Structure 1
Amino acid sequence: MFEEKWLTVNDCKVRVRRGGSGPTLLYLHGANGAAKVPAFLESFTAHFDVWVPEHPGFGESDAPDWLENIHDLAYFYSDFLHQLGLSKVHVIGSSIGGWLAMEMAIREPQRFSSMVLIGCAGIRLEGTPPGDTFQWDPATAVRNTFVDDKMVAFALSHPLEPATAQKNRRTVERLAFEPRLHDPMLHKWLHRIQCPVQLAWGDQDKIMPLAYGHAFAKLIPQSQLVVYPNCGHLPQMEQATEFAASSLKFMREVQPS
């Protein structure tokens, strides 16, 4: 069970859901927000104290004027964790949330115990552009997110509230429109990530192609790439059982430093 609470960090009020007990696990959502706690996280509450915030600018959280790029969000979460006194944090970051996790870890490498990065943005490969999500209508975005037709049908029949979708999209534009879905400097500093990292990728990801998973595996020192077959951009949804088993095993085997 997750309980909802509201936290104010530097005059920015954010919605947070929290459940479970154990070492801290922070879930950083992607472009679609976290209107609901992702179902796969329920299995983690038996082993971790799971925190699921809605980023500034998403969902019901405040949309502060100072939020201009991914770096602002990384520094916000640095203050967030400092205010709560959280260290040795495990992180699961999805898509933009994975990019955010890396930006946080290169700034404060000592704060994190492990990371699972799902189809994450953040770098650019010459000749292999990411899917241009800013050019897609909502239906096209859904079809390019999932491989499973049942997942596509469910997502199309359960859209976000229009106001929430618009707010989320505007924030994603602030974070990742230009340069498109990457930080030109990030690749130079990924060696600073000190914790073990599992890269989780769908073999048919049309948003961040699998080539990005292989590239990150070369750039991040203690990293391993797990590829999920017959899967698109969100293995935590499309291959939920396999993803939860793999990522939970990975994080539980990490010894706090």
Structure 2
Amino acid sequence: MGNIPQLRTVNVTRYISPLREGGSLPALAEADDDFKYVLKFKGAGHGVKALIAELIGGEIARVLKLQIPELVYANLDEAFGRMEADEEIQDLLKGSQGLNLALHFLSGAINYDPVVTVVDPKMASQIVWLDAYITNVDRTFRNTNMLVWHKELWLIDHGASFYFHHSWTNWEKHAQSPFALIKDHVLLPQASMLEEADALFKSILTTETLQSIVNLIPLEWLDWEDTDQSPEEVREVYLQFLLMRLNHSEIFINEAQNARKALI
């Protein structure tokens, strides 16, 4: 079962610098495996929900064989960051003790520029399908959240996906939403093979595969103050959301195709 996702755990040893691109103050950091990572903090704005979205969205992308930097659980020790002079960063580190999430840092990667790099219709369609499926609002011309590294396209930053979980009500309605914001997707003009992507990805994303991805969410990230549901029940909602959305994929495929016709 080589398809079952697993994540390594690293201990953060050095905070190198804040990355100011995102609103969530991610950081470049080094871990005890001597690799550098882009560290996402549970103490940041959207808290653990952004980490959950990053984890589920990223691991779905990986199972679909789209390029994404390795995701790891990143442990922040209680003593970490005491030497940090910036008070805002110190508060962030203090509020993020324990398990966080990090992406392998792709040294030398450049931001994807649609004018410079042409993405073929098959890959464009697969990425548009993924983002429509996970309701990712953040892959636009303004903020492409893709990198070119060693001449390949890599996907980053899925923390703005699954935005239904910020209100956590009526998830069934959200699961069957057309996702109108797909009209702003940077790759939509090239995405002429959405039905082919849909057929392929529905064959890959079995219930067992989605269950194994959802099972990666640490229980400590699922213990929310704003719901009476247990961590296990919260995890089950994510699974049911993914299954229902997959079973009704024609809703978001039609939306994307219509938005694309309006563009071209």
If the length of structure 2 is used for normalisation, what is the TM-score?
0.30
Which structure has the bigger radius of gyration? 2
If the length of structure 1 is used for normalisation, what is the TM-score?
0.31
